[in-house]
Structure formats: structure tokens, C-alpha cells
């Protein structure tokens, strides 16, 4: 029997609640389609960190290398200062395994109400391809206090390694802080190619490149130029451009006019929260951190939502749909489609819904409903 070994990171906040329902749904799909899933659990997150001071040890990264995929609940906890867990676990995995694509579909499923008044009644299916390793997320930065005006900042990615030196000769009256963005031609090239290939495979005819080249010409001119060049290999697919500020407006005004959107890391982060709301809320928004030739990680994009922790009210559908993306990536296309159809069936029927969709069902009741629709 075909079997996959999946690293399971329930994580923080509502992560463990949703991941349990994700496992439930995927197990139902596995037994229907005749493959096996072996779950390798990892305890990393706030609790582990607070007890032992450990984030994500190198030994775990080493072990994960041999897995077929990672399935993540959420990372982040108000008891830990912002950034420690996120950078030390979530971003560390994305960067270490060079998961350079963050694929976040915006699909408005039947039976779900879109919170904005749309110009057309047609279906909404847009794929956001967010670059996932570079841009302002390279983590280069610092704060300059009197007497420390030279920084040697380490930078390590699969595409390059070394350090960036920043030195200040600045007559400033007070403290200054800086954060440097970095985009490489190779980095922009591979994610652009992914976006065009995705367009091709999904029958889309346009890719929109998002940037802010009018205000930040250095990194985003390289970004845009590279997109332009890669696009020449795809003469049947239209190349379209939008500044990120305008993009937010157009996504609200006429989301159906987009097909595939390619965005640098930070702008991609911002517009995909907007995208999530267009598809009925964060409870339905799934994402994949992809390395097409390495280890990929699948997660809901809602984060740990600490206010909702332990209440059993959170919608597990985003996590279940991320699980469907994982099955597709593993080559179980039929099972992936079946999971999506099961979610759609539960949504269309409308009887079992969590509060975010106007219902009063619990997280695990939704998981049960999806699993039995799959059986």
C-alpha cells in the first residue's frame, strides 16, 4: 500500500484543535482511496519554548528531511514576545527547506457568502503565489545606538550564504532603526516560473505581478524585470502589473478580474489576508509552503487566534483544505478533489457550520461532517 509519512506540528492557540480535524478528514480520505498516512508528531511551539527554552532544534530539521510533507496548525502565543516563535519555528522551516512558494488560493465555495458586494455573480478562483524566502523577510536589520554603527548581518538561504555589512556615517540626533529587503534574480525567477506554470496547469490566461516599484525601485525593478523575462517563455499568458496599494483596491472592487497573482513576500502576506476575507473568512483560507523538489508544509493561514483557543468554535475547514492541497502535492489528486468536494458538500448543505459562518456547530462536529461526507 502507498503510504506517506507526514510531520505534524499542531503548534499554538487553536492549532491543535484544527489539526486534529484535519487529520480526521485526511484519514477518511486515505481509507477511501487506499493509501496510508503515518503521522510523526512534533511538540514545538509556545508551551515547549516556555518550558525548555527551545524553539526548533537542528536535530528536528534533520529528521524532517526524510518526511513526505509537514502539516502545521499555527504558531504564535501572546505569552511570548512577537516574532520569537514565528521567526524561530514557522519562518525557520520555510527558509531551511527553501519553501520558496507560498501558494494561497482564493476560492469562494458554493454556499459561502462573500462579505463584499461583487460586481458579478460568477465563481471566484484566484491563485496568489507569494514569494516565501526573500524580500523584507530576509531579517536583515538593526537599531543603531551611539557607538555601534557597523553591523555584520548573517544571511543564509539555499540560494546564497554570507553576510551583509551595513555601516552608518549618519549625523542623526537619536536612535535609528533599519530593515533591509533583498531579492535575488534567481529567487524572483523561480517563483515567477512557478506562477506561469501554475497558470498553465489551471487553465488561467493572465498573471498579475504585484510590487511597489514606483517607491522602492531597487528590489522591485529586479522583481518586475525578472517576471517580464520569464513571462516571455509563456506567450499565451498575459502579463499584467499592479502596485500593491492599487491591488488592495482592485481586489475589493473586482476580484474576479484576477487569475494568478504573483507577489513578493511582504505584499503577498498582506493581500492574502484580504483574499481570505473575500472567500468567506480566515476559517476557509488554506495555504501551502512549497518546495517543488524538497519538503513542503501545509497550513491554514489564520494563525493561532489565541482568543479562540480551547473553545471548540474555530472553523477547521481552512486546515482541512490545506490538507487537500497536501494530498494534491503528494500525487493523490483524486483524494484531494474528494476532500474539497466533501467540504463543499457540508457548506452547501449548511446544517453543520461554525460561528464564523453563522452556525453554532463545534470544530469537531465540522470535522466529523467532512469525514462522513468522505466515507
Of all residues in this chain, which one has the CB nearest to Mn ion in the complex?
269
CB of 172 to ligand IPM, least distance (A): 29
Name the binder of 86 from Mn ion, ligand IPM, none, CB < 5-8 A by kind. Answer: ligand IPM
73 binds, among Mn ion, ligand IPM, none (CB under 5 to 8 A by kind): none
Q: How far is the CB of 134 from ligand IPM (least distance, A)?
A: 12
Please give the Cα distance from 263 to 188 (Å, whole number).
10
For 208, counting Cβ atoms within 10 Å of its Cβ (0-12 exposed, 13-18 middle, 19+ buried), the class is buried
Q: Where are the alpha helices (DSSP H) in the chain?
A: 15-33, 46-52, 58-64, 84-85, 91-96, 185-201, 217-231, 244-253, 265-278, 317-330, 333-349, 363-374
The answer to whether residue 240 forms part of the interface with ligand IPM (CB under 6 A) is no
Intra-chain end-to-end CA distance of the chain, in Å = 19
Q: Which residue is nearest to ligand IPM (CB)?
A: 86
SS3 305: coil
Determine if 301 is a binding residue for ligand IPM (CB under 6 A).
Answer: yes
Question: With respect to ligand IPM, which residue has the nearer C-beta, 222 or 286?
Answer: 286
The count of C-alpha atoms lying within 13 angstroms of the C-alpha of 324, restricted to the half-sphere facing its C-beta, is 25
Q: Which stretch binds ligand IPM (CB under 6 A): 47-55, 84-92, 191-199, 340-348?
A: 84-92
Asked if 131 is part of the footprint of Mn ion (rule: CB under 5 A), the reply reads: no
- Binding ligand IPM by CB under 6 A: which of 20, 27, 47, 86? 86
Q: What is the dihedral of CA 220, 221, 226, 232, to 10 degrees?
A: 120
How many Å apart are CA 139 and CA 231, to the nearest integer? 29
Cβ-contact 3, 38 below 8 angstroms: yes
- The correct pick among 55, 90, 191, 230 for binding ligand IPM (CB under 6 A) is 90
Nearest Cα residue to 260 out of 330, 189, 192: 192
With respect to ligand IPM, which residue has the nearer C-beta, 60 or 91? Answer: 91
For 50, phi and psi rounded to 5 degrees?
-70, -35
Stretch of 50-58, 83-91, 159-167, 198-206 contacting ligand IPM, by CB under 6 A: 83-91
Closest approach, Cβ 91 to ligand IPM, in A, equals 6
Among ligand IPM, Mn ion, none, what does residue 18 contact (CB within 5–8 Å per kind)? Answer: none
Pick 135 or 269: Cβ nearer Mn ion = 269
Q: In angstroms, what is the minimal distance from the CB of 224 to ligand IPM?
A: 22
Residue 269 binds Mn ion, judged by CB under 5 A: yes
Binders in 42-81 for Mn ion, by CB under 5 A: none
* The Cα angle at residue 299 between residues 326 and 60, in degrees rounded to 5: 90
- For ligand IPM, the binding residues (CB under 6 A) are 76, 86, 90-91, 269, 301, 303
- For Mn ion, the binding residues (CB under 5 A) are 269
Amino acid at each position: 500500500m502507498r503510504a506517506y509519512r507526514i510531520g505534524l506540528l499542531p503548534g499554538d492557540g487553536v492549532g491543535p484543535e484544527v489539526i486534529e480535524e484535519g487529520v480526521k478528514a485526511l484519514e477518511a480520505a486515505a481509507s477511501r482511496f487506499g493509501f496510508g498516512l503515518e503521522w510523526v508528531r512534533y511538540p514545538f511551539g509556545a508551551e515547549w519554548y516556555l518550558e525548555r527554552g527551545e524553539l526548533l532544534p537542528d536535530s528536528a530539521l534533520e529528521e524532517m528531511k526524510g518526511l513526505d510533507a509537514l502539516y502545521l496548525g499555527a504558531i504564535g502565543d501572546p505569552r511570548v514576545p512577537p516574532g520569537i516563535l514565528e521567526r524561530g519555528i514557522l519562518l525557520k522551516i520555510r527558509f531551511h527547506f527553501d519553501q520558496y512558494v507560498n501558494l494561497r488560493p482564493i476560492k469562494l465555495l458554493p454556499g459561502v457568502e462573500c462579505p463584499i458586494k461583487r460586481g458579478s455573480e460568477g465563481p471566484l478562483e484566484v491563485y496568489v503565489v507569494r514569494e516565501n524566502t526573500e524580500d523584507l523577510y530576509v531579517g536583515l536589520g538593526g537599531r543603531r545606538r551611539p557607538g555601534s554603527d557597523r553591523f555584520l548581518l548573517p544571511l543564509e538561504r539555499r540560494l546564497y550564504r554570507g553576510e551583509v555589512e551595513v555601516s552608518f556615517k549618519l549625523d542623526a540626533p537619536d536612535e535609528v532603526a533599519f530593515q533591509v529587503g533583498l531579492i535575488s534574480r534567481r529567487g524572483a525567477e523561480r517563483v515567477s516560473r512557478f506562477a506561469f506554470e501554475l497558470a498553465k496547469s489551471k487553465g488561467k490566461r493572465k498573471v498579475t505581478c504585484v510590487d511597489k516599484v514606483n517607491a522602492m525601485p531597487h528590489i522591485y525593478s529586479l522583481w518586475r524585470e525578472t517576471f517580464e523575462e520569464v513571462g516571455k517563455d509563456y506567450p499565451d499568458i498575459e502579463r499584467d502589473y499592479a502596485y500593491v496599494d492599487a491591488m488592495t483596491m482592485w481586489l475589493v472592487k473586482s476580484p474576479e478580474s484576477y487569475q494568478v497573482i504573483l507577489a513578493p513576500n511582504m505584499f503577498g502576506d498582506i493581500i492574502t489576508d484580504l483574499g481570505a476575507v473575500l472567500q468567506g473568512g480566515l476559517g476557509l483560507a488554506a495555504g501551502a509552503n512549497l518546495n517543488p523538489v524538497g519538503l513542503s508544509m501545509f497550513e491554514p493561514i489564520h494563525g493561532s487566534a489565541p482568543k479562540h483557543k480551547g473553545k471548540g468554535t474555530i472553523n477547521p475547514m481552512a486546515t482541512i483544505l490545506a490538507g487537500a492541497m497536501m494530498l494534491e502535492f503528494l500525487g493523490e489528486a483524486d483524494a484531494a478533489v474528494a476532500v474539497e468536494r466533501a467540504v463543499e458538500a457540508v457548506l452547501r448543505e449548511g446544517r453543520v457550520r461554525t460561528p464564523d459562518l453563522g452556525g453554532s456547530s463545534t470544530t469537531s462536529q465540522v470535522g466529523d461532517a467532512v469525514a462522513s461526507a468522505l466515507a
